Amino acid sequence: MLRRHFLGTSTALAASTLAAPAVWAQSSPKLTPLKFTLDFRVTGQTAPFFLALAQGYYRDEGLDVSIDVGAGSVTSITRVASGVYQLGLGDISSLIEFQAQNPGTPVVQAVYQYYNRAPFVIIGRKDRGITSDFQSLKGKRIAAAAVESTRRAWPMVANKLKLGAEHFQWVTTDFSARDNVMVRGDVDGATYFHDSAVSLFARMSPQELSVLKYTEAGVNLYGNAVLASRKLITEQPALVAGFLRASNRALKETLANPAAAIAAIKQREPILEEPVELERWRLTAQYVASPDVASHGLGDVRKALLEEQIAQVAQVFGLQNRPGADSVFERGLLPASGERSYKA
């Protein structure tokens, strides 16, 4: 009886061992690697992508996603165009300019509009006479990086408000030095993404500062979008669609419960302070889920508004070629509208 029991157990064990690889293959399919570049550092601004990573949403779509820090929202375009990265987070106005300079079949396209409005602002010191009126910037010294989206978009505000080209003086400084020159008073103001100014607010009281939003000047620009190489879009559209579904899922969850997403970025960057990043996300959410989103959902654009932005960019930068809205933004891989719907 004992021998019969042992043989029975051995047979069952052997059968289960032989079957195990098949079960493992079904539960853990091979993942496709995808490289995604951020526009800048890891902060609360991009927390949804890290939530998707931490929760396994990319893996659920069959993707092994790696997320790298960026060197500016303009640089993301060249990273994707070069093929070093398949996906990135980059400025859509800069993408318009890139496509105009490289006419023909687009090399890089936007596939998901992350910032439904660009969070472009100039923050000025009240003790230097800067108010919420853009006229108060006249003759001031404004710090900005040499290649930076907010600085590059300034002529659109100047044109809209009929301000002179030399309304104020640019003081070129590195991103990392911007807060310092503001605190020391070396300059009167500086350009920021509104949500990136949290670091400044931690060193100067917001009561001492005026925030001049480009949107309040009537300049309604789409901001950073998820970018993809045209090669990936045409040859492996399912990968792009899967990345967008997972990211969109995490974005909706972050809007509902940002604490979980902030915890996810702290796994990547433990030095980050949760209260600071929660405040940063509070500002980010205002631009990601702007009022437009109620009509067309997260990630999409209004074609007429995008065409207006293309015209503005072409005028400001003197572009000879003007790409079409469908060339700039490929909306065919967006998640279903029901998945993207959002009511604040």
Question: Domain of 109: which CATH number?
Answer: 3.40.190.10
User: How far, in Å, CA of 107 to CA of 237, rounded?
Assistant: 15
Are residues 329 and 261 part of one domain? yes
- Indicate if 203 and 237 belong to the same structural domain: no
Which of 177, 202, 217 is at the close of a domain? 217
Comparing CA positions, the residue from 28, 149, 164 lying closest to residue 93 is 149
Nearest Cα to 305, choosing from 247, 222, 248? 222
Q: Please state, in angstroms and rounded to a whole number, the distance separating the CA atoms of residues 37 and 71.
A: 9
Task: Give yes or no: residues 93 and 228 share one domain.
Answer: yes
Burial class (CB in 10 A: 0-12, 13-18, 19+), 33: exposed
Which H helix or E strand runs over 189?
strand 189-193
Residues 289 and 331 in one domain: yes
Residues 131 and 204 in one domain: yes
Q: Are residues 227 and 109 in the same domain?
A: yes
* Total structural domains within the chain: 2
**Residue 277 falls within a domain, yes or no?**
yes
Distance of CA 294 to the CA centre of its chain: 19
Final residue before a domain boundary, out of 161, 189, 217: 217
Number of alpha carbons in the 13 Å side-chain half-sphere of residue 16: 6
Q: Which domain holds residue 234?
A: 32-117+221-340
Which of 217, 235, 259 delimits the end of a domain?
217
The Cα 252–Cα 254 span in angstroms is 5
Q: How far apart are CA 142 and CA 56, in angstroms?
A: 43
For residues 181 and 77, membership in a common domain is answered with no
In a domain, 190, yes or no: yes
- Joined together, the tokens standing for residue 133 give 């009126």
Q: Are residues 199 and 166 in the same domain?
A: yes
Nearest-angstrom CA–CA distance, 301 and 316: 22
- CA–CA distance, 142 with 235 (Å, rounded to integer): 45
How many CA atoms within 13 Å lie on the side-chain side of 152?
Answer: 23
Query: For residues 305 and 220, is the Cβ–Cβ distance under 8 A?
Result: yes
Q: Is residue 15 part of a domain?
A: no
Amino acid letter, residue 178: R
pLDDT number for residue 28:
60
Per-residue pLDDT in tens (0 to 9) along the chain, 344 residues:
433 333 343 334 333 433 444 333 345 679 999 999 999 899 999 999 999 999 999 999 999 999 999 987 788 999 999 999 999 999 999 999 999 999 999 999 999 999 999 999 999 999 999 999 999 999 999 999 988 889 999 999 999 999 988 999 999 999 889 999 999 999 999 999 999 999 999 999 999 999 999 999 999 999 999 999 999 999 999 999 999 999 999 999 999 999 999 999 999 999 999 999 999 999 999 999 999 999 999 999 999 999 999 999 999 999 999 999 999 999 999 999 999 999 87
